[in-house]
Structure 1
Amino acid sequence: MKVKWWGHSSFLIEHNGIKIITDPYDDSLPYQKITDKADYVTVSHGHFDHNAVERLDGDFKVIDSSKGFKNNEIEIEAIKSYHDSHQGEDRGENLIYLIQLEDKKICHLGDLGHDLDNKIINKLKNIDLLLIPVGGNYTIDAEMAYRLAEKINAKLTIPMHFKTDILDFPITGVNKFTDKYDKNEVEFANKSEINTEKIKNKKVIVLDYN
C-alpha cells in the first residue's frame, strides 16, 4: 500500500490500483495543489482546509456523510464524532473514516477534537494504518493523540494536522507527538510518499509534505 502526504490532513492512499484522497484543502493553505487523481475522496467535515473537492481533477466518488460508502471493491464506514471536546458546540461534527480496501484497513480520524470511548477504540483495533491529528488547538493534542494511538495500536501510525515550516496555524509541531516514543520506533521519512510494505520495525512514520 502506498501513502503520500500532500499536507495537513490530505493523503493519497493507493492499493492494488484503487486510489483514495482524504480531506483536500483549498488554496488558502500553503501546500501545493493536489494533482493526484482518485477514485474516492473522503471529507471529514465542512471546513475549507478539509473539503475542497472542487480543486481535484478527475472523476471520483465523494464520501462526506455518516452514510459512508460500500461497493464490491471498498467499504468506508463513517463514525460520528466531534471537532471539539464540547460535543460540537465549538466547531461542529467530525467524521472518522474506517476504510476497508481489499486486505488493508485504514483509519483517518479527521479533525477529531476529543477522546474516544472504548466502543470506538475497539472497532479501530488491529488496523493497518492510523492517520491521526496531533497539533492540538483545533484537534486533539500530542498527549491525547499518543494515548489514542497506543490504545488503537495500528501496525503503522502517521501523524497529520501539525505545524510545519510553511503553515502558520496556531498548532504545535510533530515533535511533541513523536518525542513520546522511543527513538527507534519513529522514522522521519524526509519524503512525501512511502510503501507501507517496506516499513519494518517502526510504529510511527513522519512524512514530509509534497
Structure 2
Amino acid sequence: MVSLNWYGQACFEISNSSTVVTDPHDGDSIGLGAPQLEADIVTVSHDHYDHSSGVELVSKAATVTVEESGEEVVGGVNIRGFESYHDKSEGEERGKNLIFTIDLDGIRICHLGDLGHMLDSEKIEQLGDVDVLLTPVGGNFTIDGSEAAEITEEIDPQVVVPMHYKINGLQVPISGSEEFLDSLNEEYGLEERGELRLKALPEEKKVVKLACKV
C-alpha cells in the first residue's frame, strides 16, 4: 500500500514501509501551517524557500536528503533525480530544477518539482513508465495549467495529482487548478480526496485533486 498526502505547494508525504517527503516548506513563509511530519527520505527539487525551508522540520537523525541528480537506493526505495530548469531560459531566470522518480511497491511516482518548461521526448523516455505524476499547474513560476495538461498526456500516467497552485491562505502569486482541469484530456476522470491510497493502479485514468493537510 502506497499512500500520498499533500501539504501545499510541492510538499507530499509518500509512505509505505518508508516515508518520503518532497519539497518541505516551513508553513509560515508561505501563509500555510507547518507540516507535522517525520521522513526517512527528503527530496528537494531546488533551494527556494517554499520548497526547502522545512527540511529540518521533517528530518530525524537517520533521514537521507536527496538534492542531486543521479540514482540512490535508500531503505528499499529507488530514487532517481533528473536535471531540468525552473524557467524557459535554461535556468537563467530561476535556476535549475530536479525531477524525481520514486519507486515504491512496484509503483513509480514522478515529482516534477518547479518545472518551468516543456519536456522533450528524450527526457520523457528517461523517466520511464510513470504510474503517478505529481505536476505543478499554477503558472507564473512554473508551467501553467495548459502546459501541465500537455506534459501529462505525453508522460501518460495512470494517475495525475496537481500541485503548486493557489489555495486558501497561500501567499504565493500563482493561479488555481482550473486551467489544468479544463485542459486535460477527458479520459482522466476527476476525483477529490483527502488522501490517495494505492494497493494497485486504477484501471481507468484519474486526476486526483488532494485536499491540503495544512
Give the AA of the match of 2:44: V
2:23 aligned partner? 23
Q: Does the 8 Å CA contact 1:126/1:155 hold for their aligned counterparts?
A: no
1:188 aligned partner? 192
Rate the CA distance shift 1:71–1:170 in 2: closer, same or farther, 3 A: closer
Q: Which is further off, 42-51 or 97-106?
A: 97-106
2:66 aligned partner? 63
Give the AA of the match of 1:188: E
Count matched residues.
Answer: 207
Q: Which is further off, 197-206 or 92-101?
A: 197-206
1:38 Cα deviation after fit: 1.2
1:183 Cα deviation after fit: 8.7
Q: Distance in 2 between matches of 1:166 and 1:4?
A: 18
Q: Deviations over 1:165-203 (max 9, x none)?
A: 2113221101111112439711122x2x22134874342
Alignment of 1:1-210 (within 5 A): 1-15=2-16, 17-26=17-26, 27-52=28-53, 53-59=55-61, 60-71=63-74, 73-181=76-184, 182=186, 185-189=189-193, 191=194, 193-197=195-199, 200=202, 201-210=204-213
Which consecutive unaligned segments of at least 5 residues does structure 2 have? none
Name the SS for the 1:168 alignment partner: coil
Q: Does the 8 Å CA contact 1:130/1:156 hold for their aligned counterparts?
A: yes
Q: Distance in 2 between matches of 1:139 and 1:61?
A: 27
Q: Does the 8 Å CA contact 2:149/2:183 hold for their aligned counterparts?
A: yes
Give the AA of the match of 1:31: L
1:76 Cα deviation after fit: 1.0
Name the SS for the 1:107 alignment partner: strand
Q: Distance in 2 between matches of 1:23 and 1:145?
A: 19
Q: Does the 8 Å CA contact 2:45/2:113 hold for their aligned counterparts?
A: yes
Q: Distance in 1 between matches of 2:188 and 2:11?
A: 26
1:90 Cα deviation after fit: 0.3
1:71 Cα deviation after fit: 4.3
Rate the CA distance shift 1:90–1:208 in 2: closer, same or farther, 3 A: same
1:54 Cα deviation after fit: 1.5
Q: Distance in 1 between matches of 2:46 and 2:7?
A: 18
Name the SS for the 1:166 alignment partner: coil
Which consecutive unaligned segments of at least 5 residues does structure 1 have? none
Q: Distance in 1 between matches of 2:199 and 2:75?
A: 24
Q: Distance in 2 between matches of 1:100 and 1:57?
A: 20
